[in-house]
A and B are shown apart, each in its own frame.
Chain A
């Protein structure tokens, strides 16, 4: 989930309700939601297709690792 807090950027005279934009992954989609100051649902801003089409299994298999643990051990 990614979050953009719009509550801190209000200008003088701006009486809009402070809100937060969050992106929630849902299956193959990403749902962009607007939440109120108490994280209550306000509206769906956007529904888009996730660009990461990999399953968890595919993610696990596609990532190798850097074998550097020895460098960070106590000496």
Chain B
């Protein structure tokens, strides 16, 4: 079960919401103080996801990320095409690429990759399963055009909004809440997000 059948009357980490505006400053010449050339583009995604941990929702601040369309290339991999939410969990090396690509690898390279065991692939992304409230859209798959109801988060696009109506999880604009993910799904999102920010870069490993 990806979503809760009966969402709670509180805002929670992983909730799908709507009606918020997001912005990402674009700086042409960073380094000068103050920067002389920059742009602030504001957009209002159809859906967004709450990225603040449940206990940190409040004080007029919320971390949020747009819920965006998935990459058509995901459907080239039969393991992903079968269920795109497989991207959310660690997987064996041979499942992370499509069979033709796996066949190109040398036996040594295959062995090296398989020795890593189950691991995340596509570390920036987390897929949201289809739901009646999320409109399907067309994607170009290997076999031609198709339709999907899956959406995804890109952890690189998380940003902050401020809203005085967000006092605490239960005292917030609840009318913006569209869907709540299940405890199990929230655990997967938390694990992948924690791993995304918590991994140690190879150059820092002793």
> Which residues of A pack against B, CB within 8 Å?
1-3, 5, 22, 24-25, 38-39, 56-57, 59-61, 63-66, 68-69, 71-75
Contact = CB atoms under 8 A, between A and B. Distances in A.
Nearest to A73: B73
A56 B187 CA distance: 11
Given A3-B184, A60-B194, A66-B121, 15 more contacts: A1-B187, A2-B184, A57-B198, A63-B119, A63-B195, A65-B199, A66-B93, A66-B96, A66-B97, A66-B120, A68-B121, A71-B73, A71-B97, A71-B101, A72-B122
A16 B91 CA distance: 40
A71 B102 CA distance: 12
Interface of B: 1, 5-6, 71, 73-74, 76, 90-91, 93, 96-97, 101, 113, 116-124, 182-184, 187, 191, 194-195, 198-200
A17 to B, nearest CB: 16
Top 8 A-B pairs, shortest CB-CB distance = A1-B183, A66-B96, A66-B121, A60-B198, A1-B184, A72-B73, A64-B119, A65-B120
